[in-house]
A = this chain, B = another copy of it.
């Protein structure tokens, strides 16, 4: 038995976490790739819980940055960035439910060099930005095109190669009432840029609108904590996810589980507020599902909680707060 059989997706999902149907959301099926998380546009796909969906994702620049001599400020048309696959309508999803996404696989696609990272104006963690608005100058633009291979990794230069550790940068459901840029992370998911959203993980999103309107895109071949300059190794992929529905599960922000941990993902500014939101949601999870008194969980996490910084560059910073399942389960 795999750990997955004990996951919330497998034990409480309408489809028991099973793969019951298969769907393709390739470039042809997708057509236009939206840049906005919204329940106001036509779903590209309608599925039942248990759907396995194979999507051809674009990179965050929709493939427009082709060469290291390209200038992002001339090529990119903000906010029309970070194209998404979807939305996917999940039959039966209502406000108050949760859509579960099990990430089966991420495989790079496209011609080499298919990885891209850039420094662009007014964006990044160690430069003036639109929010941290200074009058001192920024850095010059720079583009790196990188060879990305599932087996041999991400070739940074002749000396350094990083392992291929792909994850989905942007994943979530439509927000309530609003239509928000896919550059933003928030309570409904979106541009979390959290490396744990990787093959083998299940991510849970609180449904805001009937059908849920699931989106995904922005896969990263590698990313450090914080996504420091603002742009990970962006690359186009074939990404396969399995979708299920948990009825009547009230969660406030995205949660994630994998073989070893339970994580809640907070999105806010300043960064301490993202951390607070993540830890509070994790405490509520431990209280609801693992029998902890909330204050006891607070004190225990003081001793064993783990924090992952997703991004320190997006409109909201993301922080994942987690606890080992081995610890949480011991309390049962």
Contacts and interface: CB of A to CB of B under 8 A. Distances in A.
Contacts of A330: 159-160
A24 to B, nearest CB: 28
Contact of A266 (B133, B176, B230, B308): B133
A4 interface: no
A138 interface: yes
A124 B135 CA distance: 11
A314 B178 CA distance: 16
Interface in A171-228: 176-181, 187, 222-228
A268 B307 CA distance: 18
Given A160-B331, A307-B309, A330-B159, A142 B299 contact: yes
Give the size range of A's interface with the partner. 35 or more
Given A142-B295, A232-B303, A299-B117, A127 B135 contact: yes
19 contacts: A36-B177, A36-B178, A117-B299, A125-B275, A126-B133, A128-B134, A130-B187, A133-B279, A154-B303, A162-B304, A178-B178, A223-B302, A224-B301, A227-B302, A228-B305, A229-B302, A230-B302, A269-B273, A272-B312
